Amino acid sequence: MIDDYSHILDQVPPSGIRRFFELVIGAEDVISLGVGEPDFATPWTIREEGIYCLENGITSYTSNKGLLELRQGISSYLQHRYACSYDPSSEIIVTSGVSEGVDIALRTILNPGDEVILPEPTYVCYKPLIQLAGGVCVPMDTSKSDFIPDPADIERKITPKTKAIILCSPSNPTGMVIPKDTLIAIGKLAEKYDFWVFSDEIYSELIYDITYTSFASLKNMKKRTLLLSGFSKSFAMTGWRLGFMCGPEALISRALKIHQYSALCAPIISQYAGVEALKNATPEVEKMRASYQQRRNLFIKKMNAIGLTTLDSKGAFYCFSSVRSTPFDSETFALKLLEEERVAVVPGNVFGQGGEGYIRCCYATSLDSLKVALSRIDAFVKRHAT
């Protein structure tokens, strides 16, 4: 019967972001604050390494875990930047982006019916991947606690079936960074009720005015943490598909079984480029970070002045702004703004509970475009003022 497909897939809706962006394709003169992607090309030193690989015929598979040289680079980077210590030989897998890491990690730990607590609004891939792994997503609305997961709310969601929580900090879509004392409180719950903490730290290099704490660096937490990170955002390498997952050997060795059959390895050209990125691209990363910070400061200030109250987010390259002062819900606001002013933003409802009433704007676009987008948003809000 070829017309009988995976039933589990029927539970999984298409990506809300993609659905929205189908509308943008082909539309003229649109300023997109939609896609969460750096507006920089990958730094030249990294691209050059990729070219070197191609020119020299370095095009083979690598070890399933990834090039040892890259795993060593990741290990010392995590040690120096975040005080996390991982053994390159047994505690790190190089993945095809964080996306793959999330997928195989969930498939590694979940049995049918196991629950995963998901503070929302959050990045759109977690919920479907939990479902596809046979798990049950337990969403938790963080909007009432300033978009920071409240440990008391988490505790109320815990059941004997709780297997993990997924933290995304700095957050997509809010840009909020979970403070250290909250991380410690979440860690205490994880110890008390014995569950995993998956910490997606893909935006950890994009931090403004504060100090970042990696969950795995907290006392006693390494053994129950899966650290997920990668090169897409910090090094402007989205198209290279390069990430890494770090955790205790028992989890990593099992995840490797899935990775070796389903992905085999991340592309070798990207892996050598990753080695170069970690060795020599730090000044470029800092320049990009500083540039995002400048745009963030402008964007938050202007959105607040327009009357769309915006979170004082300290990371990533997103602003999360309330549209409650307008007559529209998130989706209508985003659709009308696109239609009338040709500015694309993402309605907050696609990111799960607590996202309704907000829009996500990615400010990783040129200052000039941002200024035009802001004046169009201003005109739109004024025209529809009640």
Which residues form the interface with ligand PLP (CB under 6 A)?
A: 36, 97-99, 123, 168, 172, 200, 202, 230, 232, 238, 243
> How far is residue 174's CA from residue 315's CA, in Å, rounded to a whole number?
9
Distance (Å) of CA 277 to CA 59, 77, 81, 114, 280: 19, 11, 14, 38, 6
Query: CB burial class (10 A; 0-12, 13-18, 19+) of residue 176?
Result: buried
CB of 194 to ligand PLP, least distance (A): 25
CB of 38 to ligand PLP, least distance (A): 11
CB of 132 to ligand PLP, least distance (A): 16
Residue with Cβ nearer ligand PLP (99 or 313): 99
> How far is residue 149's CA from residue 115's CA, in Å, rounded to a whole number?
17
Structure tokens, 77: 């980077």
Structure tokens, 287: 């320049």
CB of 39 to ligand PLP, least distance (A): 14
Q: Please report where in the chains the tokens 């920071």 appear, as a residue.
A: 148
- HSE of 152, CA atoms in CB hemisphere, 13 A: 2
Residue with Cβ nearer ligand PLP (167 or 374): 167
Residue at shortest CB range from ligand PLP: 97
Query: CB burial class (10 A; 0-12, 13-18, 19+) of residue 201?
Result: buried
> How far is residue 295's CA from residue 221's CA, in Å, rounded to a whole number?
35
Residue with Cβ nearer ligand PLP (236 or 374): 236
Residue with Cβ nearer ligand PLP (143 or 172): 172
CB of 86 to ligand PLP, least distance (A): 18
Residue with Cβ nearer ligand PLP (34 or 36): 36
CA angle 214, 219, 221 (to 5 degrees): 65
Residue with Cβ nearer ligand PLP (50 or 328): 50
Phi-psi region of 173 (alpha: psi -120 to 50; beta: other; left: phi over 0): alpha
> How far is residue 304's CA from residue 154's CA, in Å, rounded to a whole number?
31
Which is it for the CA torsion 252, 246, 217, 71, positive or negative?
positive
CB of 311 to ligand PLP, least distance (A): 16
Distance (Å) of CA 201 to CA 175, 228, 259, 351, 374: 12, 6, 20, 18, 29
Residue with Cβ nearer ligand PLP (126 or 299): 126
CB of 102 to ligand PLP, least distance (A): 7
Residue with Cβ nearer ligand PLP (344 or 381): 344
CB of 362 to ligand PLP, least distance (A): 10
